[in-house]
Chains A and B, each alone.
Chain A
Amino acid sequence: MADLTKGPRGAKPRKILSRRNIMLYGILFVISVYYLLPLYVMVVTSLKGMPEIRLGNIFSPPVEITFQPWVKAWAQACTGLNCDGLSRGFWNSVQITVPSVILSIAVAAVNGYALSLWKFRGAETFFAILIVGAFIPYQVMIYPIVIILREIGIYGTLWGLVLVHTIFGMPILTLLFRNYFSSVPEELFKAARVDGAGFWGIFLRIMVPMSLPIFVVALILQVTGIWNDFLFGVIYTRPDTYPMTVQLNNIVNSVQGVKEYNVNMAATLLTGLVPLIIYFISGKLFVRGIAAGAVKG
């Protein structure tokens, strides 16, 4: 499997201040501005007061820094009768995200493992269906899933939502894990079988310990996806367990007179903080894992 520690492969570096380097860094800098601009706007806006925002320039730094919008977004913004901002949803989001992430990754990892190393008749067909499933818009599936959850009797429970996240995370994650485990030398798997390890023994003792990068990728994808999910969170749970994004939507969409852009931006940043932090912490592993899960097909 590809290893990023091997380092870049492009043309050889030359003098630091060569024309090529000036152009290279120039281009990178300009592109970085495009990518950073929205974050900058969000941060700057969230630190301004409303009068300053009304003056117009969204790119100018705040004259008077105020943290009031953050406080309001976290603890005071109202939806309907509840005026406790995002704080209400934070723990709900954690409670939804943790089991959903664990279960969806566990299922997808086992799928990928079974598909790549224990091929049985028809397995590839199911996988192909799964991949096509990745293209089905979630909206289309809302109704059938409501019915299925109702029939199983877990509609409206946390487990219902966890199940939904597991189902919709399955296609892409299974693809990644399958690709990853396919790149594991087959002889390793054979050796383990000769050594008497069974399906689960090989998975838990041999495969999982050597799959940290791909698990990090799956973790980031799932934390990001599930934490940011609004649709399932609102449809398959009840108000006392609504995730943070529902509150975010409520804050952003409950307009009291004028739109409080500063509060909206603060709320947005607060909501995005968890995936951002996870991403910043394990970003490097993410790239390495992507290399392992996507390069081999």
Chain B
Amino acid sequence: MHSISVRDLTLNFGSHAVLKTMNLDVAEGEFIVLLGPSGCGKSTLLNCIAGLLDISDGEIWIKGQNVTWAEPSERGIGMVFQSYALYPQMTVRGNLSFGLKNARMPKAEIESRVARAAKILQIEPLLDRKPGALSGGQRQRVAIGRALVRDVDVFLFDEPLSNLDAKLRAELRVEIKRLHSRLNNTMVYVTHDQIEALTLADRIAVMKGGVIQQLDAPQVIYNRPANLFVAGFIGSPAMNFLPGAVVDGGRSFRLGEHSIALEGYDGRAVDLPRAILGLRPEHIAIATDPRPGTSLPAVVELDEPMGADSLVWLKAAGQQMSVRVPVERRLEPGTPVYLHLDLPKASLFDAATEQRI
């Protein structure tokens, strides 16, 4: 049984389709991250799952129940929002217990649940304060606590860390991960931050234009992006794209006057007049000598030390490329070098369909 199952979900605003026949199954205890640029429909999908938006077509199942038309509170979910959405006139305790009171839970039970959540999140000293007197991080803990006390199997996070500064964000990210491993409940987490996605998720659903582009484990998403969009969206700096053609019955990639042997590439190899070769910066090595068939001559333009490693920007075959190198390796602008390509880790896309081949 899936924890959450979205079946053929469609959502239209007027004539504009925001979500298009979407399908998504989330296993029990799984941490799914919905990732995408703004306007891709990821928050909309989350709101549909929560029951905060009426869908146009399709079904939503949670824990084996068809909840397509159930009220949000009847779906057995807890939700955490970007702006925390704490009730300003209630104390922290009031915020935590509001939902339980609405469910007409006995007082003692409410108290014990609030106490437990407060303990887990270490917000016990704050219980009698109003949200206005809390810091951003504290507020978000309370917001998480509000989902926690509901003792539900599904947690929905709508960009919960976006309003926090970088340091707090990293802290809370870890905390959410710890929480997940402790509670082991299903979590659906919306973000536009790929670091959050890559660190937290069991699986990532990369979305664009109301469609899930790829749904896979973070490493798969990273290493074997399903299409050009996913390849470009994930990874910083972005994947290097080299436009060219697949020739020789799929055995080599022609890039201007250069030809690269597609040795060890694990895709189906067919000839394509217009194709794109994608290589992540760390899958390229810089050398002084050429390596026949799998290297390209290049000229260094700029190097960008980033602490742990360094990015080198070069020009090769008329394309700008970036390469990740150890920080000790400094290269003067104008130096001619050869790029050795790690083709087994490369991605090849059909320029027309933008799909991986």
Contact = CB atoms under 8 A, between A and B. Distances in A.
Whether chain A touches chain B in the assembled complex (some CB pair under 8 Å): yes
Contacts of A205: 98
A188 B74 CA distance: 18
B171 to A, nearest CB: 22
Given A195-B146, A209-B89, A210-B89, A187 B99 contact: no
Contacts of A210: 87-89
Interface string A180-224: 000001011011111111100100011001100000000000000
Contacts of B87: 188, 191-192, 206, 210
Contacts of B86: 188, 191
Given A193-B73, A194-B77, A210-B88, A185 B98 contact: no
B284 interface: no
Contact of B72 (A187, A193, A206): A193
Contact of A197 (B47, B52, B98, B158): B98
Given A196-B73, A196-B102, A197-B102, A191 B88 contact: no
A195 B88 contact: no
A196 B85 contact: no
A185 B89 contact: no
B352 to A, nearest CB: 41
Nearest to B79: A194
A8 B102 CA distance: 42
Contact of B47 (A188, A190, A196, A198): A190
Interface on chain A toward B: helix, strand, loop, or mixed SS?
helix
A206 B88 CA distance: 9
Contact of B99 (A185, A188, A196): A196
B47 A194 contact: no
Contact of A190 (B50, B74, B88, B102): B50
B285 interface: no
B81 interface: yes
B73 A195 contact: yes
Given A194-B99, A195-B73, A188 B85 contact: yes
Contacts of B143: 191
Interface in B48-85: 50-52, 71-74, 77-79, 81-85
Contacts of A190: 47, 50, 52, 72, 79, 81, 85
A197 B85 CA distance: 14
Residue of A187, A192, A197 ringed by the most chain B CB atoms within 10 A = A187
Contact of B78 (A194, A198, A209): A194
B168 interface: no
Interface in A202-250: 205-206, 209-210
B133 interface: no
Nearest to B152: A194
B103 interface: yes
A193 B71 contact: yes
Contacts of B71: 193, 196, 198
A188 B84 CA distance: 8
A121 to B, nearest CB: 11
Nearest to A197: B102
Contacts of B77: 194
Contact of A195 (B84, B89, B99): B99
Interface string B20-64: 000000000000000000000000000100111000000000000
A195 B102 contact: yes
Contacts of B85: 185, 187-188, 190-191
Interface in B124-152: 143, 146
Given A196-B73, A197-B102, A205-B98, A191 B146 contact: yes
Contacts of B146: 191, 195
Contact of B103 (A191, A193, A196): A196
Contacts of A198: 71
Interface string A116-157: 000000000000000000000000000000000000000000
A191 B81 contact: yes
B102 A194 contact: no
22 contacts: A187-B81, A187-B158, A188-B86, A190-B50, A190-B52, A190-B79, A191-B79, A191-B81, A191-B85, A191-B86, A191-B146, A194-B73, A196-B74, A196-B102, A196-B103, A197-B73, A197-B98, A198-B71, A201-B102, A206-B87, A209-B89, A210-B89
